[in-house]
Amino acid sequence: MKPAVPDWVVEGLPPLNARTVLSRGQKLTALLLALLLALAFAWRPYGTFLALNVGMIVLYLVFSYYKLFLQFRAMRSPPGAPPPAVAGDEALPRFSILVPLYREESALPGLVAHLGSLDYPPEKLQILLLVEEDDAGLRAVAERLRLAPPFEVLVVPACLPRTKPKACNYGLRQARGDLLVIYDAEDRPERDQLRKAAAAFAAAPDSVVCLQARLNFYNRDRNLLTRLFTAEYSAWFDQCLPGLYLLDAPIPLGGTSNHFRLGTLRQMRGWDAFNVTEDCDLGIRLYILGYRTGILDSTTWEEATFRVLPWIRQRSRWVKGYIQTWLVHMRQQRVMLRDMGAGRTAQFHLLFGATFFCLLVNPVYWLMTLLWFTARPAFISEFFPLWVMLAGLVSFIGANAAFVLASMLACLQRRYFHLVPTCLLIPGYWVLMSLGAWKGALQLIWKPFFWEKTPHEAQAALETAP
């Protein structure tokens, strides 16, 4: 039985959404593909496996080349001069800040202090703390803090789905700004970020309806995991996303610090409440409708998950959301091809489909590599004829090293010099990524809308934020 979902959530959903994991057509297609594959295996097992192997290696090579191209493209083009600031506070647009919160009592005081210190006229600000109805602890802390405008506590009805986008959509209905931004509880945006966003929106054409700020971590030196996580974030937010921007490709938004033109966001019905990476989905929807996302040259400092199991849980949610997003937009292939063009549709598939697919398949190839170096079983040699072996070797020796190098370069660019040697350990981090991917993929079957909440320490964040 489908869980009860209130009407306001259903009515607010975008036409294509993740509430249905697989459409009927997708189920039929999947079934047909599985059948064809089974028949092919029964008919020509060797040929089928070889064809799959060749396809996978080609995918690896294309995906690696694409990701590296994005990074190097961004490195070649340093950010241009910032747009001129908006003249006079009175000319600044009204800004609504949405902060979805759930059981984050310890983070609230620091968050309030930091948001309160943002460099933006308070009369132009509306800070909506989105508190869940059943989160009595957080509501009590909020009451104790005696919050005054621009802070407002908005109680989100306790209902399904228990996701952040549902809370954000509820907040969107109450937002009164011209612009809107999302922050998480542990976020520490640079104090002038709102002014920069306002200036960037003023200078940008109307088609730019979203700006993604760069995300990075204030607790990057906490342990090895946070160092590697920082290297990954630096590569993604400082290089890959700017690379996508420079290629005029769809940009998967990054969780928090997305600044929007509020009117357009409302027209688009906000976020998909059933998608656990609602931000990525929104980035694609924006693009298909002809809107664009820019990159804001300002950083929001977050807390990196520093324990392995919570990290895997967080990653599983991200990968699950990537799969959801890919499946949702696969239902409108024709629209994508028509509105985005073949090249950008291919980039969408690389960004979403190939990302999770490679993460899922990686362990199989690692195992085969290990087997080949240790036991050299004959079947591996059979499945890797010379040209396939050569391509596999390029992928193994070249592409993997290039990814490590790209992480090192990302740290250099961020001036995290002490993290550069740590990047040599990043292949171990890929193992964790694949574990998270498998967890997410399996969870999509059993608990598709379950939100893996990431615990945060949130202690002394205010003091440690740069």
Partner 1 sequence: MSRSGAASDTATARVSFLFATGASFILLAAIMASQAAAEGIGLLVRIRAAVLADFLAGLPIGRQALVSSCRLLPLPSFAALPFVPFLPAHGYGYACRYGTALVAALNTLPLAGLLRRWPRMPAWGALPAALLLQAAGAAWLGAAGAEDLLACLALLATARFLEGETAIARRALSGVFYGLALLTHPAGLAAAGLRLLAMAARHAGRRRAGAGQRAVDFTRLASVTYCAAILLFLNWMIMRDPFYPLRHAHRGIPREGEVAPALRELEQALDGPLAAFMPVASGHWSHLARPLLAARRGTGFIDFHPDKLHAGEPRSPLLIVPRADTPLFALADVTRVPGALLLTQTPRWRFYLVPRPAVAAGGGSSGVLEF
| Contact footprint for partner 1 (CB under 8 A) | 75, 78, 80-81, 205, 246, 386, 390, 397, 401, 405, 408-413, 415, 417-418, 420-421, 424
Give the C-alpha separation, 362 to 370, whole Å.
12
Q: Which is nearer to partner 1, 233 or 357 (CB)?
A: 233
- Tell me the closest approach of the beta carbon of residue 205 to partner 1, in angstroms: 7
- Tell me the closest approach of the beta carbon of residue 415 to partner 1, in angstroms: 7
Q: Which is nearer to partner 1, 127 or 411 (CB)?
A: 411
Q: Are strands 151-156 and 125-132 parallel, antiparallel or unpaired?
A: parallel
Structure tokens at 105: 């009592």
DSSP state of 395: I
CB 356 within 8 A of CB 437: yes
Q: Which is nearer to partner 1, 79 or 157 (CB)?
A: 79
- Tell me the closest approach of the beta carbon of residue 77 to partner 1, in angstroms: 8
Q: Which is nearer to partner 1, 276 or 411 (CB)?
A: 411
- Tell me the closest approach of the beta carbon of residue 418 to partner 1, in angstroms: 7
Q: Which is nearer to partner 1, 45 or 421 (CB)?
A: 421
- Tell me the closest approach of the beta carbon of residue 216 to partner 1, in angstroms: 16
Give the C-alpha separation, 51 to 67, whole Å.
24
CB 455 within 8 A of CB 304: no
Q: Which is nearer to partner 1, 10 or 390 (CB)?
A: 390
Give the C-alpha separation, 163 to 277, whole Å.
10
User: Secondary structure of the chain: what % helix, strand, coil (to 5)?
Assistant: 60, 10, 30
- Tell me the closest approach of the beta carbon of residue 365 to partner 1, in angstroms: 18
Structure tokens at 213: 């700020």
DSSP string, 90-105: GGSPPEEEEEEESS-G
- Give the helix/strand (H/E) hosting 217: strand 208-217
CB 257 within 8 A of CB 212: yes
